[in-house]
Structure 1
Amino acid sequence: MKKVFVLMAFAALALIACKPTNTDDPNNPGGDDPKVEEYVQPITCDGKFDDWAKLDASKVYTAKNVEGSKHDALKLVKVYADKAFIFVYFEWDTEQIEWELDVEHVPFHIYLNADGKADTGGFGDQWSDACTEACFEGFLTNGTDIDSYDPGVYQWVGEANGSGWEWSDPAVLDAGSGICSGAGVNGKYELQIVRELYPLGTIADEFSIGFDIQQSWDTVGYLPNGEVTDDNPSGNVPSLKVVTVK
């Protein structure tokens, strides 16, 4: 009886081994094990900036300082987002930004509308859509030398679509968490935001973003911006819309 059982077991194994590949599976027509595409980081934030020229320009979102704007120290910003990171490149006017030894008095802010919704968040002081839910606050220098950007993250706690400096205290994510890192030279910088470290949920595939740079804690440049006119005395425009590359 035992011998019969063993023979039956071998026969079953042989049947499984000889089972033909299911080539009718629409998700795997060849019948082979599906290959997992390896992620290749498109930009290395090393302060050399050459990676940006290799990107599909149609998927890089850009804001430039508009002539006649209220604050013009921030000249250019580019944003590229994929499933793992949000990459940012920006330039500033070195004549308007001064560094002092051992003084971190030139903060750089990222304002993120992570859910992409128009009816949440706030901070209409610099963008007309007033939908920022998180403010990243950090520094580009350790006093005189350009350093890695590693900010704290603060949540909007004011009224929906409101204005004012209404951010959580303490931060929802302390500086030094590693959510951002970057490198650059005086006047040019690139950084990355690690999406999975964002503390307020998932960053949507379509989101919006804004940036400012300050001198002695006063804003001297922000992007996107607009021309100051009689119809738009603030010079504010909507934040920059970005679509994630998949």
Structure 2
Amino acid sequence: MKKYFLLAAMAAVALVACKPANPDDEGDGPDDEKEYVQPIKIDGNFDDWSKLDASKVATAKCNPDAAKNALKIVKVYADEVYVFVYFEWDKEQTNPVPDVDHVPFHCYINGDGKADTGGYGDEFSDACSELMLEGFIYPDGTAVGSYEPGCHKWIGDTHGTGWTWEELGAVAGLCAGAGVPGKYEFYIARELYPLGKLADNFSIGFDIQLDWESVGVLPNAAVTDDNPGGLAPSLQITTVK
């Protein structure tokens, strides 16, 4: 009998020793989710862009034979929280005039990622943008400032042309930007996207203007007899998860 009790006691000790100290801490609960670390700090210092996986950054460069070439390069990196944008432009073509234009900068977004919705074929051959962001690189007409755009929804014909947008107003916190003359970065907060959920796969295009006339568009293409406007499809973006 003593032998039986001794074996039982030893088995109980072994079970206690093998049992995890915290049964709730097994590596698959919500406490183990990784804390979000913002990969790009919007501060006008662009060094952190070089630390990204280049294969996950969508890039458009100005075609040397494009008609509107003031935008030189644009890079877009999208994760599940933000869409980050970096771009460079020709300062000589966009010298701001105080109290006149403030250098408008537009983002044209195909947020659902579908080819059969949206429009604005004036600057992009796929003409599928549903949302346009309109803001200013020089908010006061003299100094580079934060990007705080108003939102506009496409209400024209599918794949249509013309400035056919319905003003939705500004969305507080949707964007923030910083930069220096000729270089800029900003983000779009996905949770504040005004047309609902931004798809994992979407597309985007950009223009920069002087006195409300586009002087740079990206993506773009060479001007040819078959493509006199030098239009290209919007830039395809895949969300990094």
The equivalent residue for 1:5 is none
Equivalent residue, structure 2, for 1:11: none
- The letter for the 2-side match of 1:225 is N
The aligned residue for residue 152 of structure 1 is 150
1:184 — aligned with what?
Answer: 179
User: Percent identity over the alignment?
Assistant: 58
Q: CA 1:235 to 1:32, structure 2 compared with 1: closer, same or farther past 3 Å?
A: closer
Return 5+ residue gaps in structure 1 as ranges: 1-17, 23-27
TM-score, with normalisation over the residues of structure 1? 0.85
SS at match of 1:50: helix
Aligned-partner SS, 1:135 = strand
Pick the aligned partner of 2:107 from 106, 110, 113. Answer: 110
Structure 1 residue 118 displacement after superposition: 0.1
CA distance in structure 2 between the partners assigned to 1:135 and 1:217 by the alignment: 15
1:135-214 alignment, distance < 5 Å: 135-141=132-138, 142-168=140-166, 171-172=167-168, 174-175=169-170, 177-214=172-209
Aligned residue number for residue 71 of structure 1: 68
Superposed, 1:1-40 pairs within 5 Å as 31-32=26-27, 34=29, 35-40=32-37
Instruction: Give how far 1:234 is off.
Output: 1.5
Per the alignment, residue 48 of structure 2 pairs with 51
CA contact (8 A) 1:102 1:144 kept: no
Query: What is the rounded CA distance, in whole Å, between the counterparts of 2:33 and 2:220 in structure 1?
Result: 42
Question: Partners of 2:137 and 2:173 in 1: how far apart?
Answer: 14
Q: Is residue 2:212 matched to residue 1:217?
A: yes
Indicate the residue corresponding to 2:58 in structure 1.
61
Paired residue for 1:243? 238
> Counterpart amino acid of 1:222?
V
Contact 2:151 2:171 in 1 (8 A): no
In structure 2, how many angstroms separate the alpha carbons of the residues matched to 1:31 and 1:92? 51
Q: Which runs of 5+ in 2 are unaligned?
A: 1-15
Cα RMSD, aligned residues only: 1.8
